[in-house]
Amino acid sequence: MLHVRMADMHRRAELRHLISATIHERLADQGHEPLMKELARLAGTSSALAVLGSQAGAAAMVAVSDRTAHAAHDLELVLAEGPETDAFGDTGPVLVAGSALVSRWPRYGPAVAELGVQAVSAAPLGSGRTTFGAVCAFGCATACQPAEPERLATATTLMADVLSGILLTESDNFPAGDGLGILEIFSDGDLQSPIHQAIGAISAQGGYTIADAGALLAARAFADGRPVSEVARQVLLSETRL
């Protein structure tokens, strides 16, 4: 039993070092792929995201690894529940798998399962009681990449810890001009603003509540097989009317 615990401890330490090395390589502009894609691979999946913003979700900056992670983030913005929301709260790290997805998140759970997600792990970015973001990883049911919830949970917690340390200390420890700034990895910009604007427009046009307008936007995106953010932008450009 002792040797099993020691082996687990060293594997965890190895994973932490790999995560740290991957992040610093990307910050040195030496990474070959987007950072979240590389971090997702270390977690044993292809889908992961990191989000920065207030607990209320304002002015979020998001980095995603793939379309599944992007779609999962869109869903959470529209449905106002899910792993990012919980990680921002007082629940600490989140790990939900299988049928528990639906029981924990009655709206988000079934919707994210439609994306092929079988397990979700999330951990807060921050220090102590101060939370300024979250890291999430999604285990999907594919032949070559089955969901491994425990690995997702371990990797997500370590990613959040390493990223939090860099975000909190970068300005003091990394001089200007020394590669990329940590915020530059969040290259997807503000995905949230057009979605909320579109929900407001749908509500005003049809006299719907905000919740119903969000549900209509999500339903149209699923029906069309497109990201919610894309449909939202078309609503704002009057190219799509719900």
Tokens representing residue 148 in the block: 């491994």
Ranges 1-5, 190-194, 195-199: which has the least confidence: 190-194
Q: Residue 224 is part of a domain; what is its CATH number? A: 1.10.10
My answer on whether 116 and 15 are in the same domain is yes
pLDDT band with cut points at 50, 70 and 90 for residue 217: confident
d(CA 82, CA 48): 14
Residues contacting residue 133 through CB under 8 Å, at least 6 positions apart: 50, 51, 52, 53, 88, 124, 125, 126, 167
Residue 57 pLDDT: 47
My answer on whether 205 and 179 are in the same domain is no
My answer on whether 124 and 219 are in the same domain is no
Looking at the domain assignment, is residue 30 inside a domain?
yes
Residues contacting residue 107 through CB under 8 Å, at least 6 positions apart: 79, 81
Mean of pLDDT values over 131-137: 89
Q: What is the mean pLDDT of the chain?
A: 79
Looking at the domain assignment, is residue 63 inside a domain?
no
Residue 181 pLDDT: 60
My answer on whether 150 and 178 are in the same domain is yes
Looking at the domain assignment, is residue 70 inside a domain?
no
pLDDT band with cut points at 50, 70 and 90 for residue 83: very high
My answer on whether 81 and 130 are in the same domain is yes
**Do the Cβ atoms of 166 and 99 come closer than 8 Å?**
no
pLDDT digits (tens, 9 = 90+) for 142-196: 644 555 788 899 999 999 999 988 887 764 444 444 445 666 666 544 455 677 6
My answer on whether 13 and 120 are in the same domain is yes
pLDDT digits (tens, 9 = 90+) for 15-39: 888 888 888 888 777 666 788 899 9
Domain residues for the domain of 15 are 2-54+76-185
Residue 174 pLDDT: 46
Calculate helix-pair angle for 67-79, 192-206, nearest 10 degrees. Answer: 40
Looking at the domain assignment, is residue 36 inside a domain?
yes
The DSSP letter of residue 22 is H
pLDDT digits (tens, 9 = 90+) for 40-78: 999 999 999 998 875 544 446 788 899 899 889 888 877
My answer on whether 111 and 21 are in the same domain is yes
Looking at the domain assignment, is residue 61 inside a domain?
no
Looking at the domain assignment, is residue 65 inside a domain?
no
Nearest one of 147, 144, 60 to 112, comparing CA atoms: 147
Residues contacting residue 85 through CB under 8 Å, at least 6 positions apart: 57, 76
Residue 144 pLDDT: 44
My answer on whether 112 and 222 are in the same domain is no
My answer on whether 232 and 170 are in the same domain is no
Residue 182 pLDDT: 63
This prediction has a pTM of 0.73
Q: Residue 9 is part of a domain; what is its CATH number? A: 3.30.450.270
Q: Please check the confidence at residue 109 and state whether its pLDDT lies above 90.
A: yes
Determine the straight-line distance between the first and last CA of the chain, rounded to whole angstroms. 60
Nearest one of 55, 82, 56, 52 to 64, comparing CA atoms: 52
